[in-house]
Amino acid sequence: MRDDEGIISKDMVIKTSICIYWLFCFIAMMLIITNRKYIYSLLNPSFESPDKEKGYKVSLLLGWIVTLAASGAYISFTRKYETGNYEIIDLIVFSVFNGILEQFMFIFWFFLGCYIGKIISSSNNKLIFTLGYISYAMFSGIIHALFWIKVLPSHEPAIIIMPVFLSIMSLVWMWLVWRYRAVMAIIIMHMFIDFITVGHLNFAWFESFQIIGL
């Protein structure tokens, strides 16, 4: 009986932690939406030029290639210590919710870095993008190391391989935002990698995580 109570308690802590994180992500999303006119001024001015779509298809294809590569690397090199079953609908809903909300949080930190870069040098686009990417990468690394590694089933990602793949993927994602304002595209990519990686871990806690009544 105590074991069951312990599992339920742990389950509730995990669900509550995720929901609190999503709440902060939602706040970040609303800040971006309500300040989007100013935010556009932080991004690459080439988007306002007649050839604003130049290179977009290539960049989008590259985004999907690195997303698929990162997903494949995660499945291939991540060691799992726990297994379980999950309801596929819960995994889909989680991927959609987290893909939207967390990606907006990532973008928020990218914009924050861009804002700092804009203050330092309003005309140095390389500096603005670089500081945006560094800000994004720092938050992404911290949230995965201190939060997701604790709430997801026990596992051990490849120490060197995954940071390399994820760093490259993140760089392309932020380029798509910076150059093409392709927010929806990278949200879909985030949903995809969440579905693949979290599903690979057999997140057993999804069994009772009924966000929607299906």
Give CA–CA dist 35/45, Å, rounded: 17
Question: To which H or E segment does residue 156 belong?
Answer: strand 155-156
pLDDT digits (tens, 9 = 90+) for 45-66: 776 766 777 889 999 999 999 9
pLDDT digits (tens, 9 = 90+) for 149-180: 888 777 777 777 888 899 999 999 999 999 99
Burial 43-75 (b: 16+ CB within 10 A, else e): bbeeeeeeeeeeeeeebbebbeebbeebbebbe
Q: Which residues are registered as beta bridge partners of 80?
A: 155
Host domain of residue 31: 2-208
What is the pTM for the complete model shown?
A: 0.85
Sequence-distant (≥ 6) Cβ neighbours of residue 160 within 8 angstroms: none
The helix/strand/coil state of 158 is coil
Pairing of strands 79-80, 155-156: antiparallel
The predicted model gives 31-38 an average pLDDT of: 91
Could you tell me the maximum CA-CA distance found in the chain, to the nearest angstrom?
Answer: 68
- What is the number of structural domains in the chain? 1
pLDDT at 177: 94
Domain membership flag for residue 213: no
Domain membership flag for residue 173: yes
Domain membership flag for residue 202: yes
Domain membership flag for residue 49: yes
Domain membership flag for residue 214: no
Give CA–CA dist 28/12, Å, rounded: 24
Domain membership flag for residue 155: yes
Confidence of residue 203 (pLDDT cuts 50, 70, 90): low
Domain membership flag for residue 13: yes
154, burial (CB in 10 Å: exposed 0-12, middle 13-18, buried 19+): exposed
